[in-house]
A and B are shown apart, each in its own frame.
Chain A
Amino acid sequence: MSYWRLRSAALALLLLAGSVAGCSSGNAPERVEIRIHYSHFDPSALTVPHGVAITFVLINEDPIDHEWMLGDAAFHERHRHGTEAHHGLRANEVSIAALTTVETTLTFGAPRSLQYICHLPGHEAYGMVGTLTIT
């Protein structure tokens, strides 16, 4: 294959990639990965825009179950004393079984700051706390 053919092929690939990227950044939600390792969230601080659907990909690398509970101070205070053994019906209350990945999609209406915390016994005290800033 000549140099010019190679160059044309590369250009075509670049254009194709650009169009795919353009499609994905259209209406599809933005994806944010949060890893859970040794009972800590990574990252433990995130910033996302309001008015845009955000898909949180929660990857539990631990051999124990965890939760990703997103809300304000009053929300967390309630859940510190809650009795629900499993979450999954609400997008901001997610149970993540050991060594599994769960996705949840949320759209935030206005700028504010929330926290994501695991409320399983002892987990918050151990450091399973993160901050989500909505701009």
Chain B
Amino acid sequence: MRRLAAPFSAILVTLALAAPTLACGGLIGPNGAVNLLRTTTLAGYHDGVEHYVTAFEFAGGGGAFGSIIPLPGIPTSVVRGGDWTLQRLVRETDPQPLFFDALGTAAASPRVIVLQQVRIDALDITILKGGGAEIGVWAKDHGFSLPPDAPEVLDFYANRSPIFMAASFDADAAAARGQAIGDGTPVHLTIPTDNPWVPLRILALGKSAAETVQADVYLLTDDRPALLPAPGSKLAEGGLALTHSDAASPQLLSDLRSDKGMEWVPQSAWLSKIAIGATAANLRFDLAIDASGGGKPSLRDAGFAPFGPLPAPPAWNPLWVMLLVISLAVPLGGGWLLGVALRNAGGGRPLAG
């Protein structure tokens, strides 16, 4: 999906605001307690580089809590995110008080490649590369209690991109640092990729089929983006609604650009907001975005092509070619023979009188 890159200078900013029930977009800590109130994710895309900012709000308690988030590529840097970018985006379309912060997990397992480890405040961030089973074992080895749908969900992502961010939030360390409930730590990942998408299915991890997943996804693109599934479409199972779609205000872009690490925000952009409200049973897809103007978001990026790339178009194999030749040759040859026979018969007999 290089189409998002250079020629169009596409810029995509995604902000996923998870409701309190979305705590721990990925995994839940060893004691099963949910102490992360809200996960927030921002993904910005410009010239082939995705800027991914996520933050969790810490709701108190002790011990360690974690989350695993699938990523479209390997980050070249993992740093502390800006202080107010997420809040500012939300305020643009939905003026209400918001809190951010507190992520979850990190470490290493036999067949998982640990690509990067970073400590940000009370967060331990680990970038991992591995298959679904390997990531699952790694998480288990590092104290996570994975819900029963984790094996399938991890495979769902690993077969498209084997890169995951594991974040563990050390509540004791947070308390020692003087962090209060509601304090957060945003994290900014820079990910070169030609394949941006917003992970949505991970939000349903560990939920019963009837539970509702609610989140807001903000997109900031050069032009009006094409989305898959399109909000309101049958594919979206009624779980996505486009609630804002307009040119981003110069003031918003200026505000975003002035935050730490947000210099890449362009001079003009299109702001979209997609409200997600789906049952966990129906939220079995991700959000694919084509901001190139081509209007063709990837079926695979949306997760509709199960487990891996779409099947290649059928190739011409010799058997099919032979069958085709035979199927054409039989009627044509028969017709020719019939014609010859009729001609011969006609030539030997007077047509009239």
Interface residues in chain A, defined as those with a beta carbon under 8 Å from any beta carbon in chain B: 37-39, 61-65, 98-99, 118, 120-123, 125-126, 128
B contact residues vs A (CB 8 Å cutoff): 32, 132-137, 139-140, 145-152, 154-155, 206, 208
Of chain A, the residue at the smallest CB distance from B109 is A63
Contact indicator A38/B152 (Cβ below 8 Å)? yes
The secondary-structure label for the interface of chain B is helix
What CA separation (Å) do A120 and B146 show in the bound complex? Answer: 11
CA distance A98 to B151 in the complex (A): 10
Which residues of B have CB within 8 Å of A65? 140
- Contact present for B146 and A64 (CB under 8 Å): yes
Give, as a whole number of angstroms, the nearest-CB distance from A81 to chain B: 16
Known contacts A63-B137, A65-B140; A39/B152 CB under 8 A: yes
Q: Is the CB of A98 within 8 A of B206?
A: no
Say yes or no: A126 contacts B136, CB within 8 Å. Answer: no
Q: Which residues of A contact B149 (CB under 8 A)?
A: 38-39, 126
- Can you report 7 residue pairs joining A to B where beta carbons are below 8 Å apart? A37-B151, A38-B152, A63-B137, A63-B146, A63-B154, A122-B147, A126-B148
- On whether A39 and B140 interact (CB within 8 A), knowing A63-B154, A99-B133, the answer reads no
Q: Do A122 and B137 touch (CB < 8 A)? A: no
Nearest residue in A to B136 (C-beta to C-beta)? A63
* CB contact between A39 and one of B133, B134, B148 (< 8 Å): that residue: B148
Q: Which 8 A-B pairs have the closest CB atoms?
A: A63-B136, A39-B148, A126-B148, A38-B152, A62-B151, A63-B133, A63-B137, A123-B148
Q: How many angstroms from the CA of A128 to the CA of B151 in the assembled complex? A: 13
Q: Which of B32, B151, B206, B208 contacts A38 (CB 8 A)?
A: B151
* Complex contact A64–B152 (CB within 8 A): no
Tell me the nearest residue of chain A to B153, going by C-beta: A38
Chain A residues with CB below 8 A from B151, complex form? 37-39, 62-64
Given A38-B151, A64-B146, A128-B148, decide whether A122 and B206 contact each other with a Cβ distance below 8 A.
Answer: yes
